[in-house]
Amino acid sequence: MDLRKLKTILELFEESNINELEISSGKETVRLSRGGHAPSPPITTVATKSDIAKMKESSSASPIAGNVVPSPMVGTFYRAPAPDRPPFVRVGDRVEAGQTICIIEAMKLMNEIPSPSNGIVRSILAENDQAIAYGDGLFIIE
């Protein structure tokens, strides 16, 4: 599982009133639960050796502040209007509320996804041409 997605899931879990959450993607599973006196929720995950190496490399990196823009639907994420065109936004770009920031293809329809607010794109959480689910984090806008 992508470390950025795992961090986003953990942040959303910590901000919510949910006591237990389990997410499965293929052979990987992440389970979060709030325990009695534990200072932070325990995490159990099945990951590959490369995933563990990536986590160790970026464990010292500071978390990115901002608001997560969730996917409003299930589909395929595209950063650009066409393969030969530049992406709608890049990290560091200033965006305006209503500005198209990506496309999600669902049932052969291309749905333009607007920015929910003004701000600066701090992170792009989804990979181009990636299948996404409803609620998956797409961007972090500060």
Model pLDDT for residues 22-75, shown as the tens digit of each residue:
777 767 777 777 664 444 444 444 444 454 444 444 444 445 567 899 999 999
Q: What is the pTM of this model?
A: 0.55
Q: What is the dihedral of CA 41, 140, 77, 107, to 10 degrees?
A: 80
Which among 127, 8, 140 has a CA at the least distance from the CA of 69?
140
Question: Three-state DSSP class for 55?
Answer: helix
